[in-house]
Structure 1
Amino acid sequence: MIIVPGSVNADLLFKVARLPRPGETVLCPGYVMAPGGKGANQAAAAAKAGADVRFVGHVGDDAYGSVLRGLLQDAGVGCELLAVSRRPTAIAVIGVDEAGENAIIVGSGANLDTAAHQIPDALLGPGTTVLCQNEIRREETFAALVRAKARGARTVLNMAPAGPVPAEVLRALDVLVVNELEAEIVAGAPGEGPEAAARLLAGRHGLACIVTLGGAGCLAVARAEAWRVPVLPIRPVDTTGAGDAFVGALAAWLDGGAPLLDALRAASVAAACTCEAVGAQTAQPRRAVIEARLPDLPPATALGSV
């Protein structure tokens, strides 16, 4: 079982010829509302990848909230722990240009009410994976991870957006997922590069550190292995949510007992497939699609001893 305490947003997607510069207005013909939020995105991706997923969060008592709850349920996510807040449902405004690049602004709203105590003790234990991000209050994310580790659960943190992480929390992690910038920030090693930062974090805290590298794939450093995994050759349409699809599929494969390398390969394929359509949750692949396209992924490269 995967427990995801995290954010849930209504994403307003705008397709534009190019992203606006500061102070500039860019017009487009219309927009699309789609489900989003890193927590909800990763929960949906994990459920579509075949995992038993429970989402922990808040929505507002408004039209967006009821729609988002229904869409999570449609994705196969359990929403018994999705509460209703007095604040409005969170909104994200996303511009996507013709090259598939994006710019995002988020109004957190009800996400600010989500707390670690919403997770019942009965759901935490050796058979559970707790998957967190950084779009709810950081102190609540960190409390959930420390508590989960103490009760024997697997702990996964996608440190996005970036910020400092207490040593106590890093020691409580089994898996840390970061991008290149986030890796250097969390490791306290600016300018050292992603592999050096990953090796520092893995060695110092006894965790598996996975660094996503965009179009260059990802690398992972764990206690006894280090790998670089490439990307699936595709023509991207929209990169929104690709990182969340990566993390959700990774958690699903790990929760199902897969070795780290197998989980990384599945995650890489899931992220690539998500880039082939518009939206975050709406573009995520099901497990059958991921498995069917795994043979098209080039082989991983071992990075040497850890």
Structure 2
Amino acid sequence: MTLIVFGSAIADLVFRVPHLPRPGETVLGEAGAALPGGKGLNQAIAAARDGGDARFVGCVGRDAHGALLRAAALAAGVDVVGLREVEEGSGFACVCVDAEGRNQIAVSAGANRRASAAQVERIPPEATLLMQMEVPPAANAALIARGRAAGARMLLNLAPAAALAPDALRALDLLILNESEAAWIGGRLGQPGDARSLHAALGIGVAVTEGERGVTAVTGEGVLRLPAHRVAVVDTVGAGDAWCGVLAAALDRGLPLEAAMRRASAAGSLACTKPGAAPAMPTAAEIDALLSRS
């Protein structure tokens, strides 16, 4: 099978702070070296570490951060033939993480603004496409149209929340959101921001991750509700990306949705136990070990 992850690659500068800044407040903290991140790259790495045959398609700059991001993908076993270098600087993020592992993130898209659906040269009918919203929405819409025509499975993580053409949303197999993103799109559709209401409004599968309460998914086959795993939280950055990447990898291997969600939920929980985004993506062995204890 083939898993194509189309999305962003972003270098993260993580600040450890005693509490998250309020408007107008300066908080002293500690930061280390830049770490690989970006929703697209995180999800591709998560998929590859869970044994997925992941291909990452996106853009980085011809700079040190671009080299860092490419190296991180290669080290995880991700195919980077579709990763293009452009003149614009690589995407960059400032991540604040407090003592309880909560985070605030500001992102400069940089080279990710140049990502194009044309970089995906061929979409096999058996492929799984996974997308997010840190690249131009028009590029996602174009790729969704091509994927639907090819007969591929299409997953979109609507993160960060941003407008996408209704026809593109309705062409998806599964829309993945957290609670704030679900509330946002629910408001735009004139619906409550829960998985059941969004499924009814869009006519597609919808999965809403709910933090420590777990995840709810609604498809044409019914409702799936899974609890979260209890873990010692260090940093919640990247938890949603671990969930999405492992879910896509599991579906691409032929697992049914419930089994894929169980792996994804374990991966999301495990990502909270380590600092950083891409470096925190768990391995298949770690996921299997957590599931065996549950």
TM-score by length of 1: 0.92
TM superposition shift of 1:189: 5.3
Q: Where does residue 130 of structure 2 map in the other structure?
A: 131
> 2:13 touches 2:95 (CA, 8 Å); kept in 1?
yes
**Secondary structure of 1:253's partner?**
helix
**Secondary structure of 2:25's partner?**
coil
Q: Where does residue 146 of structure 1 map in the other structure?
A: 145
Q: Where does residue 192 of structure 2 map in the other structure?
A: 192
Superposed CA RMSD:
1.4
CA distance in 1, matches of 2:114, 2:7: 10
CA distance in 2, matches of 1:30, 1:44: 23
| Structure 2 letter corresponding to 1:32 | A
- Deviations, residues 137-196 of structure 1 (Å, cap 9, x unaligned): 0110111111111111110000011123322112210111011232233344567352xx
Change (3 A) 1:190 1:5: same
CA distance in 1, matches of 2:172, 2:3: 15
206, 209, 215: which one pairs with 1:209? 206
TM superposition shift of 1:203: 3.3
TM superposition shift of 1:89: 0.7
| Uncovered stretches (5+) of structure 1, i.e. residues with no partner | 298-306
- Identity over aligned pairs, percent: 44
| Structure 2 letter corresponding to 1:183 | A
CA distance in 2, matches of 1:254, 1:223: 17
216, 226, 231: which one pairs with 1:229? 226
After the TM superposition, which residues 99-118 of structure 1 pair with which residues of structure 2 at under 5 Å, given as runs?
99-118=100-119
CA distance in 2, matches of 1:295, 1:27: 41
- Deviations, residues 190-235 of structure 1 (Å, cap 9, x unaligned): 67352xxx22332344421100101111000010121111011111
The answer to whether 1:162 aligns with 2:161 is yes
234, 245, 263: which one pairs with 1:266? 263
> 2:191 touches 2:197 (CA, 8 Å); kept in 1?
no
How many residues align? The count is 292
Q: Where does residue 177 of structure 2 map in the other structure?
A: 178
CA distance in 2, matches of 1:108, 1:171: 26
**Secondary structure of 1:120's partner?**
coil
Q: Where does residue 28 of structure 2 map in the other structure?
A: 27
| Structure 1 letter corresponding to 2:42 | N
Change (3 A) 1:202 1:30: closer
> 2:170 touches 2:202 (CA, 8 Å); kept in 1?
yes
Q: Where does residue 251 of structure 2 map in the other structure?
A: 254
Q: Where does residue 288 of structure 2 map in the other structure?
A: 291
| Structure 2 letter corresponding to 1:22 | P
Q: Where does residue 37 of structure 2 map in the other structure?
A: 36
CA distance in 2, matches of 1:117, 1:191: 34
**Secondary structure of 1:87's partner?**
coil
- Deviations, residues 3-59 of structure 1 (Å, cap 9, x unaligned): 111100110011111111122221124323210000101111011111101111111
| Uncovered stretches (5+) of structure 2, i.e. residues with no partner | none
**Secondary structure of 2:29's partner?**
coil
> 1:45 touches 1:244 (CA, 8 Å); kept in 2?
yes
Q: Where does residue 49 of structure 1 map in the other structure?
A: 50
Q: Where does residue 301 of structure 1 map in the other structure?
A: none
Q: Where does residue 242 of structure 1 map in the other structure?
A: 239
CA distance in 2, matches of 1:189, 1:171: 12
| Structure 2 letter corresponding to 1:19 | L
CA distance in 2, matches of 1:211, 1:219: 5
Larger mean Cα displacement after TM superposition, 239-248 or 140-149: 140-149
| Structure 1 letter corresponding to 2:60 | V
The answer to whether 1:85 aligns with 2:86 is yes
**Secondary structure of 1:32's partner?**
coil
CA distance in 2, matches of 1:224, 1:191: 21
TM superposition shift of 1:291: 1.3
| Structure 1 letter corresponding to 2:251 | L
> 1:219 touches 1:229 (CA, 8 Å); kept in 2?
yes
CA distance in 2, matches of 1:29, 1:219: 36
